[in-house]
Amino acid sequence: MKIFIDAVGSHDPPFCHVIVDGVGTLVDLAGLPGPLTDPNVIAVEWGFFGQNYTEGGMISRRSANNASSLVERVPFSDIGMIGHYLTAYKRRIEHIQQVT
C-alpha cells in the first residue's frame, strides 16, 4: 500500500489531500490523533523506502527554525500512527461512491 497525505497545498485546512494507491481526494482530518496534529508537519507518506525496500513511513516537517525551504524527514514504522487518517479516507471514498 502506498499512501501520501499532503497537509500543504491548494486546499484549506482542515482538509488534506490523501492519496492511497493512486486514488486521491480531500479529507477532513481535523481533530484526529496522529502526526498531523503538529502544525509543522507538511506531509506523511507510507510505502517502501530505502535500499532494502522496507515498508515504513516518513513524516516531512518544517525544521525547528521554520525556514520554509528546510524540511526534515522523520521515519516511522507503525502504520497504526496513521490508522485514523486511513479510516477517514475510506469513509470519504465510500461517501463519494454513494453520491455518484
Overall pTM > 0.75: yes
Higher-pLDDT residue of 49 and 76 is: 76
Contact 16, 42 (CB under 8 A): no
Percentage of the residues of the chain whose pLDDT score is greater than 70: 90
Tell me the CA distances in angstroms from 35 to 53, 63, 67, one per residue in order. Answer: 23, 15, 20
- Spatial distance between the Cα atoms of 61 and 70, rounded to a whole number of angstroms: 9
Give the per-residue pLDDT at 69: 67
Return the C-alpha cell found at 93: 471514498
